[in-house]
Amino acid sequence: MPATKFRRIVIGAVTVVAVAGALYGCAMSTMTSKDDAQLESRATAMLKSSFKAKGQVKLDRLDQDETQRLCSEYANQPLPPSVAERIQKANLATVRFPADGKLIGDWKSGEKIAQSGQGFQTSDDPSKPAGANCYACHQLAPDELAYGTIGPSLYQFGKLRGYTDEMRKYAWSKVYNAEAFNACSNMPRFGHRQILTEQQLKDVVALLMDPASPVNH
Amino acid sequence: MADPMKIRANVVGDSTEVKVLMNHEMETGQRKDAQGKIIPGWFIQNVKVTHNDKVVLDAQWGPAVAKNPFLSFKFKGGAKGEKVRITWTDNRNDTRTDEATIA
Amino acid sequence: MDKKRREVLKAGGGMTLLMLLAAAGWLRPGDVRAADWNKAAFDTKTMDETMKALGGGTPVPSNDIAFFSTPDIAENGAVVPIGITSKVPKTESIAILVEKNPNMLAATFDIPAGTEPSLSTRIKMGQTSNVYALVKADGKYYVASKEIKVTLGGCGG
Amino acid sequence: MKDMHPRKLAAGVVVAVLGVTIGVALAQTSTVDEIAKYREALQDGNPAELWEARGEEMWTKPRGPKQVSFARCDLGMGPGVVKGAYAHLPRYFADARRVMDLETRLVWCMVNEQGMSEADATKTTFGGPGRRSDIEALAAYVSGQSRGVKIDVALDEPHVRDMYQLGEKMFFFRGGTHDFACATCHGDDGKRIRLQDLPNLTTVEGARKAYSTWPAYRVSQGELRTFQWRLNDCFRQQRFPDLVFGSDASIALTAYLAGRANGASFDAPAIKR
């Protein structure tokens, strides 16, 4: 899977560079990596001076971890395989399984979590549970027509892949930290960044992997 | 004071087509504010459209009409240069009348 | 404003008289509104209640009433475009009703002779629901309905 | 369970994602068609006109402690010239020694010509129920006066070009609890969030389509929204802190997106979900 992603990134970057070149004439093509690093650091500094804390959101949200920094740096150019591997390895190490060994919670609660985009915004009440907003990017239960396409369809996720222990563990790990499998994935790291609680993670995994879940109808 | 409406009245065949946008919150009275207090309903209840002092449309609205309401309809007759006059009244007794020249 | 006076005023020439009274300073604008806004009808929650408040019986389904420029799916329930045309002869009024809104009646439009029984406006819908176009013609009521789905938009939060 | 190795799991995943039945696919096609019809039906009457009218009146009226109108406000094409001005913004203003977008320039005129304090001028940058924004009304009016004009941001001007390049970097900056960057949602073709199409702003075509239709009346809010609002609310949803109105980053990103949209025919204020 990562190989496909790399190809896509490479193609995207080539397009962008070509267009940028057309806009600037030679300006871009002659930019050295030193210039680029300087631009990067100026942009980061400018960003940090342009926000203010509001509600539950403090300025430390702009402090990048290594994964974020690398994914930003390589967003507009091919992601070298060595960097991708570094990112995936580091994120894989963060995946934790529940102490009770149970990965499947309540799919009904999982559906609510998948529908909700609440949480961690300046406008959100931090005392209320956060959602995962899965439908923003993925198709899941067929009754919900308003689904996004940033991520692949997860309709019949468990049914197509089999309700195996191995697959349940994969689903858990993927929701927990998507960067473990796909460097610079667009998907938030719901477990690693503590966006969802352990129980919520179980409920979302149930939505994907419980044969009774409408996702698998 | 309420803001003006935006009225367009155009001759189309043997009719006059009226399109109007009104400036109004159309608050339902069902919503709560950040403190959990109900925001009181505030909405247009009556809309009357006249052409040469003849009523060509007379509407009653509830709070389910969308914010900044839009209305479009046609009446027979009407000539370029004549006036179409629209008045709305809301549940706070605020009222607004605007006129447009038929084009 | 008491009911009798309202009826008397209505009987005595409806809005024209009311407007004269208002112009003469006999009535404040609020009185005009109170006389002309059917609170009972706008408070109703079911079709039966609405029909009762409007003073009509059970409406007859009609193929002569059509929706135009009205989508099957609304991208946002805060603004749902509704267009209604009536080909029922002697159409006197058109009303828009939303089955699953907190109150069923959204709007009524009296259509005087000379005005085309066709109009479009925009309403709010709290959720996916049937929307009814209720037409009064020659004293009788006719109805057509259409389901409009309301979808959740954007980032959902 | 601790000995379980997710990497092996990943290898074991057979990508058998052909699970979309024909029925579901058909339903989705009609959903997209119906949403297109919905958008079409909205075009008939755009409440943005109400803001344009209010902004136009405001433009000519004496305001602020100095009781001066915007007649001397230079949006880059000479004092008081509104026609076509929006299509050339952001641009470098020597008097302010800064690259400015429309909203920051309006505030600059309110402060420097009308004598308002910065705090007063930026008190209501984004309107809401019961608090109307003068800036939104003025932006509606001014942008409306560029309808049909080709977007032409001076990327050959060094200050503007610098902001463009910085904005491009920021567009790809990942951060926050959710690792989101602008590019997360706006870096690929043909994507949707829920049912909303997401323009790919890294392509000229995507940037043109998106940028040329702001400001816009948002039916979900019943408000006229400016591009400053668009950026602010994107960052809110990115789980970032609050983007300061008129901040350097907001100008840099606007310069990047406007610059990419160069050549498009300006078509705002529009009406959007």
User: pLDDT value at position D33?
Assistant: 85
Q: Pick the residue with more confidence: D18 or D133?
A: D133
pLDDT digits (tens, 9 = 90+) for C16-29: 444 444 444 444 44
Residues of C with CB under 8 A from a CB of D: 69-76, 78-79, 81, 83, 120, 149, 151-157
Cβ atoms of A132 and A196 within 8 Å: the answer is yes
What's the pLDDT score for residue A177? 98
Distance CA A71, CA D21 (A): 35
Residue D9 DSSP label: H
pLDDT of A39: 94
Contact A168, A205 (CB under 8 A): yes
Would the CB atoms of A169 and D6 count as touching at under 8 Å? Answer: yes
> Higher model confidence: residue D19 or residue B102?
B102
Query: Tokens representing D54?
Result: 């209010």
Catalytic residue status for D73: no
Instruction: Say if the Cβ atoms of D45 and B21 lie within 8 Å.
Output: yes
The predicted pLDDT at position A172 comes to 98
Kindly state the tokens that stand for B40: 């009181």
The predicted structure's pLDDT at residue A21: 37
- Interchain CB distance below 8 Å, D222 and B67: yes
* D86: pLDDT strictly greater than 80: yes
Question: B48-58 pLDDT, tens per residue?
Answer: 999 999 999 99
User: Residue D179 and residue A71: Cβ atoms within 8 Å?
Assistant: yes
Neighbours of chain C (3+ CB pairs under 8 A): A, B, D
Q: E-strand spans in chain D?
A: 91-93, 98-100, 191-193, 196-198, 216-218, 223-225, 242-243, 270-272
D47–B70 CB contact, under 8 Å: yes
* H helix runs in chain C, sequence order: 3-11, 14-23, 29-36, 39-42, 47-54
Q: Which residues contact D40 (CB under 8 A, 6 or more apart)?
A: C69
Q: Specify whether the CB–CB gap between D269 and D220 falls below 8 A.
A: no
What are the tens digits of pLDDT across the range A57-89?
999 999 999 999 999 999 988 999 999 999 999
Name the residue in chain D with its Cα closest to that of C80. D38
Q: CA C86 → CA B37, C7, C62, C95, distances in Å?
A: 41, 29, 9, 11
D34 at interface of C, judged by CB pairs closer than 8 A: yes
Q: Which residue has the higher pLDDT, A43 or C3?
A: A43
Give the global pTM.
0.85
CA A154, CA D5: separation in Å to the nearest integer? 23
Residue corresponding to tokens 């900056």: D173
In this predicted structure, the answer to whether residue D12 has a pLDDT above a threshold of 60 is no
The dihedral of CA D119, D122, D124, D126: what is its sign? negative
**Does the beta carbon of C153 lie under 8 angstroms from any beta carbon of chain A?**
yes
State the best of D50, D51, D219, D273 to mutate against chain B, taking most chain B CBs within 10 Å: D50
D221 contacts chain A (CB < 8 A): no
pLDDT of residue A2: 40
Q: What is the mean pLDDT of residues C110-126?
A: 96
Residue B66 has its nearest CB partner, among C38, C115, C123, at C123
Q: Token pair for residue B25?
A: 């919150």
Distance in Å, alpha carbon of D58 to nearest chain B alpha carbon: 13
Q: Calculate mean pLDDT across residues A166-184.
A: 98
**What is the predicted pLDDT for the residue at D29?**
63
pLDDT of amino acid B27: 94
Report whether pLDDT(C135) > 90.
yes
Task: Give the sheet arrangement for strand B15-21, strand by strand.
Answer: B6-12, B15-21, B70-76, C115-123, C80-86, C65-68
Model pLDDT, residue D195: 85
pLDDT > 70 fraction of chain C, expressed in percent and rounded = 74
DSSP summary character for residue D224: E
The predicted-structure confidence for D208-267, as pLDDT tens digits, reads as follows 999 999 999 999 889 999 999 999 999 999 999 999 999 999 999 999 999 999 999 999
CB contact burial A57-94 (16+ within 10 A = b; e otherwise): beeebbebbebbbbbbbbbbbbbeeebbeebbebbbeb
Q: How far is B66 from chain D (nearest CA, A)?
A: 9
Cβ distance D211 to D218 under 8 Å? no
pLDDT at D32: 79
Residue environment code for D86-100, b if the CB has 16+ CB neighbours within 10 A, otherwise e = bbbbbbbbeeeebbb
Q: Read off the pLDDT of residues D165-215 as tens digits, 9 standing for 90 and up.
A: 999 999 999 999 999 999 999 999 999 999 888 999 999 999 999 999 999
pLDDT in tens, D120-147: 999 999 998 878 999 999 999 999 999 9
DSSP B10-75: EEETTEEEEEEE-----B-S--B-TTSPBPPPB-EEEEEEEETTEEEEEEEE-TTBPSS-EEEEEE
pLDDT the model gives residue D26: 52
Average pLDDT over residues D3-20: 43
pLDDT (mean) for D75-104: 98
Looking at residue C153, its pLDDT comes to 56
pLDDT at D141: 98
pLDDT tens across C65-90, in order?
Answer: 999 999 999 988 999 999 999 999 99
Chain D CB within 8 Å of residue B98 CB = no
Q: What part of D 81-110 touches A (C-beta under 8 Å)? A: none
Which two structure tokens, joined as six digits, stand for D242?
């609050």
> Cα separation of D197 and D190, whole Å?
7
Which amino acid appears at position A193 of this protein? Answer: R
**Owner of token pair 């468990």:** A158
Is D50 in contact with B21 (Cβ distance < 8 A)?
Answer: yes
Q: Taking the C-alpha atoms of D138, D144, D146 and D152 in order, what is their torsion angle to the nearest 10 degrees?
A: 70
Could you tell me which chain C residue has the CA closest to the CA of B73?
Answer: C119
Chain A interface mutation, best of C75, C149, C155, highest count of A Cβ atoms under 10 Å: C155
Residue A27: exposed, middle, or buried by beta-carbon count in 10 A (0-12, 13-18, 19+)?
A: middle
Q: Which residue in this structure is represented by tokens 């819908």?
A: C125
**Could you tell me if A124 lies within 8 Å of chain C, comparing CB atoms?**
yes
Phi and psi based region of residue D104 (left: phi greater than 0; alpha: psi -120 to 50; beta: remaining): alpha
Instruction: Indicate whether A14 pLDDT > 50.
Output: no
A145, D31: Cβ pair inside 8 Å? yes
* pLDDT score at D25: 53
Structure token pair of residue A67: 């994964």
User: Token pair for residue D123?
Assistant: 């008190």
Asked if C127 is an interface residue toward chain A (Cβ–Cβ < 8 A), one would say no
- Do D53 and B6 make contact, defined as CB atoms within 8 angstroms? yes
- Interface predicted TM-score (ipTM): 0.82
Segment C7-62, tens digit of pLDDT: 433 433 334 444 444 444 444 444 444 458 999 999 999 999 999 999 888 999 99
pLDDT in tens, D31-66: 778 888 998 899 889 999 999 999 999 999 999 999
For residue D157, give the chain A residue with the closest CA. A24
Which residue type is seen at A22? A
**pLDDT tens-digit map of A183-216:** 999 999 999 999 999 999 999 999 999 999 999 9
Inter-chain contact D129–B19, Cβ cutoff 8 Å?
no
Sorted by sequence, the CB contacts under 8 Å of residue A120 that are 6+ apart come out as A56, A57, A130, A195, D176, D177, D178, D239
Q: What is the pLDDT of residue A18?
A: 39
